[in-house]
A = this chain, B = another copy of it.
Amino acid sequence: MKKTTFLTTLIALSSFASASLIDDAKKAGMQPIPSDKKALMKLIDNPKNPLNEAKIKLGKDLYFEPRLSKSNLISCNTCHNLATGGIDGVSAAIGHKWTANPHHLNSPTVYNAVFMDRQFWDGREPDLEAQAQGPMQAAPEMAISQEMAVKRIRSMAGYKKQFKDAFGDANITFKKIADAIGAFERTLVTPSRFDHFLAGDEKALSKAEQAGLKIFIDKGCASCHTGVGMGGSMQKFPIAKPYKYADIGDFKGDKSGRVKTPTLRNIAQTAPYFHNGAVWSLEEAIKIMGETQLGVHLSDDEVKSMVTFLKALDGEMPTITYPKLPAVTATTPKPVTQ
Q: Which residues of A contact B (CB under 8 A)?
A: 64-67, 71-73, 78, 81-85, 88-90, 94, 97-98, 100, 268-271, 280-281, 317, 319-325, 327-328, 330, 334-335, 337
Closest-CB distance, A262 to chain B (whole angstroms): 16
With a cutoff of 8 Å between Cβ atoms, the chain B residues found around residue A65 in the complex are: 83
With a cutoff of 8 Å between Cβ atoms, the chain B residues found around residue A90 in the complex are: 71-73, 335, 337
17 contacts between A and B (CB under 8 A): A66-B83, A67-B84, A72-B88, A72-B89, A73-B78, A73-B90, A73-B94, A82-B322, A83-B323, A83-B325, A90-B337, A97-B98, A98-B337, A100-B337, A270-B327, A271-B328, A321-B321
Copies assembled: 2
Interface centre among A65, A67, A271 (most CB of B within 10 A): A271
> How far, in whole Å, are A98 and B70 apart by their CA atoms in the complex?
14
With a cutoff of 8 Å between Cβ atoms, the chain B residues found around residue A330 in the complex are: 280-281
Closest-CB distance, A307 to chain B (whole angstroms): 11
Closest-CB distance, A204 to chain B (whole angstroms): 21
With a cutoff of 8 Å between Cβ atoms, the chain B residues found around residue A85 in the complex are: 327
The chain B residue with its CB closest to the CB of A67 is: B89
Docked-complex contact A84 and B97, CB < 8 angstroms = no
The chain B residue with its CB closest to the CB of A269 is: B327
**Top 7 closest pairs, chain A to chain B, by CB:** A98-B98, A72-B89, A320-B322, A269-B327, A322-B322, A83-B325, A83-B323
With a cutoff of 8 Å between Cβ atoms, the chain B residues found around residue A324 in the complex are: 83, 317
Docked-complex contact A81 and B66, CB < 8 angstroms = yes
Closest-CB distance, A135 to chain B (whole angstroms): 15
A84-B71 contact given A90-B337, A100-B337, A319-B321, CB 8 Å threshold: no
> How far, in whole Å, are A287 and B200 apart by their CA atoms in the complex?
70
Closest-CB distance, A19 to chain B (whole angstroms): 32
Docked-complex contact A327 and B271, CB < 8 angstroms = yes
Interface centre among A64, A327, A334 (most CB of B within 10 A): A327
The chain B residue with its CB closest to the CB of A271 is: B328
A83-B64 contact given A321-B319, A322-B322, CB 8 Å threshold: yes
With a cutoff of 8 Å between Cβ atoms, the chain B residues found around residue A82 in the complex are: 322
With a cutoff of 8 Å between Cβ atoms, the chain B residues found around residue A337 in the complex are: 90, 94, 98, 100
A66-B94 contact given A321-B319, A324-B317, CB 8 Å threshold: no
Closest-CB distance, A174 to chain B (whole angstroms): 20
With a cutoff of 8 Å between Cβ atoms, the chain B residues found around residue A89 in the complex are: 66-67, 72-73, 328, 335
With a cutoff of 8 Å between Cβ atoms, the chain B residues found around residue A73 in the complex are: 78, 88-90, 94
With a cutoff of 8 Å between Cβ atoms, the chain B residues found around residue A64 in the complex are: 83
> How far, in whole Å, are A85 and B326 apart by their CA atoms in the complex?
9
A84-B98 contact given A327-B271, A328-B89, CB 8 Å threshold: no
Given contacts A83-B324, A85-B327, A269-B327, 8 further A-B contacts (CB under 8 A): A65-B83, A66-B83, A71-B94, A72-B88, A89-B335, A268-B327, A280-B330, A320-B322
